[in-house]
Chain A
Amino acid sequence: MDDTLLTRALAKDRLATSRLLTLIARGEAIAEIDEAMAHAPRPAVIGLTGNGGVGKSTLVGKLIQPYRERGRRVAVLACDPESPLTGGALLGDRVRMPGSATDEGVFVRSLAVASGHQAVADHIGLMARVLGNYGIDRILLETVGAGQGDTAIRQIADVLVLLVQPEAGDDLQWEKAGLMEVADIVVVHKGDLPGAQRVEAQLKDLAKISMHAPEVVRASAAKGEGLETLIDSIERQLAVARDPA
């Protein structure tokens, strides 16, 4: 590693910060970076998960600006799968996160996740501290599109948001064990589509009779609806997660 890299990163240099993320993603110099970032503030990590096509990237893209308006500095870590055959990856989430090219308070990074791993890249905690050092205080961590059993993100995220959409199965689907049990917030996404209100009602009913009752929010990234409600909900859950009384 270039000797000046850590110094520059600690001085909040954007390119050095970006390079450290590359090293961490490659699993290089982990101990060294970990030591250098030992006193860096840790941003709140908000995990967003749900099946492929449910609208994670689009929703994340739409949360950036409202968060900026609340004075938060936001990073996105967008995970996409790596080919098990070639190790190659097509990281396309940025396409759905339209530009804030001149805003220093937004940092978007795409990460490839090796096959056979869970739904997020390794060393996310260390990446979070490197971004925290840069001044980021909210990280939107998007999974590759987790299935029902992929619950490793629970250990990484301070708040876990699960996206579901209308017409994704009958109400028994929600009874299955897995992600629904570990989510703090369930977003009925594509909330402008027919059936969304019914799904919202089913999930709210279910929450009433469950030991673990996530907040249920209906939102539509396409229509820009429910975004502020969702952020309120995330911030409420963060307060609980950080100060469990």
Chain B
Amino acid sequence: MALEIPLRVVLAKVGLDGHDRGIKVVARGLRDAGFQVIYAGLWQSIEDVVRTVADEDADYLGISILSGAHMTLAPRIMEALREAQLGHVGVILGGIIPVEDIPKLKEIGIERVFGPGTPIDEIVEFLKQQGSRTHG
């Protein structure tokens, strides 16, 4: 069952958003699927998240936003990652995201948006198919 190379996934919540039930469920699901999950917690600044991704050498960053601020925060996160030379890191988004925003989010480089009710297996399969971003 173990992944050949354990993918490292940073999970974080950005900004003033205290709803962490969903992201904790995802953290546990990915752990049980053999991922190394680095849980960074609530109320992270964009600088915090970028530093965590850098120091943890993450393959993926999963951001959960339930505050409605995704169209402001997501572009800033993508920009900050690129500036920090972390453009290779795959970014996925979860939370309450209106369907009409998804194409715009994909345009700025968010790889997938997972809404409420997404089965964990769907996230697991997606990340496994994408594979490692840090290992050539």
Contacts and interface: CB of A to CB of B under 8 A. Distances in A.
A binds B: yes
Interface string A97-127: 0010110000111101000000000000000
B38 A18 contact: no
Contacts of B50: 101
A88 B45 contact: no
B56 A110 contact: yes
B99 to A, nearest CB: 31
Contact-residue size bin, chain B (C-beta under 8 Å from the other chain): 35 or more
Contacts of A110: 36, 38, 56
Interface stretch (B2-10, B67-75, B100-108, B110-118): B2-10
Contacts of B85: 15
Contact of B34 (A19, A88, A91): A88
Interface string A66-110: 000000000000000011011111111011000101100001111
Q: What does DSSP make chain B's interface, helix, strand, loop or mixed?
A: mixed
Interface residues of A, number: 28
Interface of A: 2, 14-15, 18-19, 21-22, 26, 82-83, 85-92, 94-95, 99, 101-102, 107-110, 112
Interface of B: 1-3, 5-6, 8, 27-28, 30-41, 44-45, 47-48, 50-52, 54-57, 85-86, 134-136
A109 B53 CA distance: 10
Contact of B47 (A22, A101, A108): A101
A88 B7 CA distance: 9
9 contacts: A14-B55, A19-B134, A86-B1, A89-B37, A91-B39, A95-B40, A101-B51, A102-B51, A112-B6
A15 B81 CA distance: 12
Given A86-B31, A88-B30, A90-B37, A108 B6 contact: no
Contacts of B6: 87-89, 112
A94 B134 contact: no
A40 B35 CA distance: 32
B39 A18 contact: no
B52 A87 contact: no
B55 A90 contact: no
A107 B41 CA distance: 18
Nearest to A112: B36
Given A15-B85, A87-B6, A109-B55, 14 more contacts: A15-B57, A18-B55, A86-B31, A90-B39, A91-B39, A92-B39, A92-B41, A94-B39, A94-B40, A95-B40, A95-B41, A101-B47, A108-B52, A108-B55
